[in-house]
């Protein structure tokens, strides 16, 4: 689920995909001003000893980790937060323990202080034992990753949170792709609200996206012009995973982000 340093040139934008490995820190590709770097991590196999992962966490992260009741969940928390620190520290040229976070009004994490310009923006998401990290210097970014598993309340969730346009699109899909359509919509909407930083304060039915699997990711309409201006892209992953990324305005983004 991932290919190291595969790049797609799209006019002024370059998307670089990487599968996490501890050795990559010695050859980390530079993060250009018109690039998005997406990293995939298998949280059950981060290639780092558990004690080393836990040692990277700050007091707040340790407390959050300790509140998780299962050892597996604690280990995965330490893996994704520890690897995030390693990545950010390497891009910034500082020790991972020196990376400091600040949180927006709705809880979105950001780097607390950055002496170098342009700034680094990041976001992460996880599903099952996989995690995705998205980093860029272009502006705010949001990423969402989901395991596309059907559940009984799917129609009621769609009715409560999807716009009328999206509900009509979903109803028009054949039964055998409706679950994929649901998660395609959900990940695109989650990526958008994570990029915007508004969390649940942004009604999910206040904007519409395309949701047919394989169809280009497009924001069809939005009450908020700032959301309408975001760039939305699909991240193509092996079945049954679905993911999407939303970035602050940038023209000329034409194709899907693909992790072979």
Q: Could you report the per-residue pLDDT of 76-88, keeping only the tens digit for each?
A: 999 999 999 999 9
- DSSP letter assigned to residue 73: H
Question: pLDDT tens for residues 103-132?
Answer: 888 888 999 876 666 789 999 999 999 999
* Rounded-to-integer distance, Cα 150 and Cα 158, Å: 13
Q: What was the pLDDT predicted at 194?
A: 95
Q: What was the pLDDT predicted at 116?
A: 61
Q: What was the pLDDT predicted at 200?
A: 75
Q: Is the dihedral of CA 98, 145, 247, 207 positive or negative?
A: negative
pLDDT by residue for the chain (260 residues), tens digit each? 544 444 333 345 566 778 888 777 777 888 888 788 999 999 999 999 999 999 999 999 999 999 999 999 999 999 999 999 999 999 998 999 999 999 888 888 999 876 666 789 999 999 999 999 999 988 899 999 999 999 999 999 999 999 999 999 999 999 999 999 999 999 999 999 999 987 778 999 999 999 999 899 999 999 999 999 998 988 888 899 999 999 986 544 434 444 43
Q: Where does the chain have alpha helices with state H?
A: 50-56, 59-66, 71-92, 154-161, 164-172, 178-196, 225-228
* Rounded-to-integer distance, Cα 7 and Cα 117, Å: 24
Tokens of 229: 């201006």
| Domains detected in the chain | 6-143 (3.90.470.20), 146-258 (3.90.470.20)
Using N-to-C axis directions, what is the helix angle for 178-196 and 164-172, rounded to 10°?
150
pTM for the whole structure:
0.89
Which residues partner with 241 through β-bridges?
A: 147
- Checking 114-121 for CB contacts under 8 A at 24+ apart, the result is 116/92, 118/33, 120/31, 120/88, 120/91, 120/92, 121/248
Q: What was the pLDDT predicted at 250?
A: 52
> Rounded to an integer, what is the distance from CA 64 to the centroid of its chain?
20
Q: What was the pLDDT predicted at 237?
A: 87
- DSSP letter assigned to residue 12: T
Phi, psi of 233 (to 5 degrees): -135, 150
Tell me the three state secondary structure of residue 96.
Answer: helix
Tokens of 126: 């996880």
Closest CA to 180 of 156, 155, 149: 149
Q: What was the pLDDT predicted at 191?
A: 96
| Rounded (10°) CA dihedral 68, 71, 77, 82 | 130
Q: What was the pLDDT predicted at 255?
A: 40
Q: What was the pLDDT predicted at 17?
A: 73
């Amino acid at each position: 689920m991932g290919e190291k340093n595969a790049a797609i040139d799209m006019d002024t934008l370059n998307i670089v995909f990487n599968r996490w490995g501890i050795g990559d820190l010695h050859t980390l590709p530079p993060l250009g001003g018109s690039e998005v770097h997406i990293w995939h991590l298998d949280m059950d196999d981060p290639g780092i000893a558990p004690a080393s992962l836990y040692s990277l966490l700050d007091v707040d992260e340790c407390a959050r980790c300790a509140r998780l009741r299962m050892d597996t969940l604690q280990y995965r928390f330490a893996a994704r937060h520890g690897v995030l620190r390693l990545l950010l520290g390497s891009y910034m040229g500082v020790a991972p323990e020196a990376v400091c976070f600040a949180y927006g009004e709705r809880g979105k994490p950001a780097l607390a202080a950055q002496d170098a310009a342009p700034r680094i923006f990041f976001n992460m998401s996880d599903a099952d034992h996989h995690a995705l990290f998205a980093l860029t210097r272009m502006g705010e970014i949001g990423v969402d990753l989901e395991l596309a598993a059907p559940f009984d309340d799917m129609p009621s969730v769609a009715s409560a949170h999807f716009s009328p346009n999206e509900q009509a699109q979903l109803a028009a899909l054949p039964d055998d792709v409706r679950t994929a359509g649901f998660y395609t919509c959900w990940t695109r909407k989650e990526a958008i609200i994570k990029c915007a930083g508004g969390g649940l304060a942004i009604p999910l039915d206040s904007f519409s996206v395309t949701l047919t699997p394989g169809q280009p990711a497009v924001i069809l309409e939005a009450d908020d012009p700032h959301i309408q201006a975001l760039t939305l892209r699909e991240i193509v992953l092996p079945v049954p995973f679905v993911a999407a990324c939303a970035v602050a305005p940038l023209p000329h983004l034409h194709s899907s982000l693909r992790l072979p």
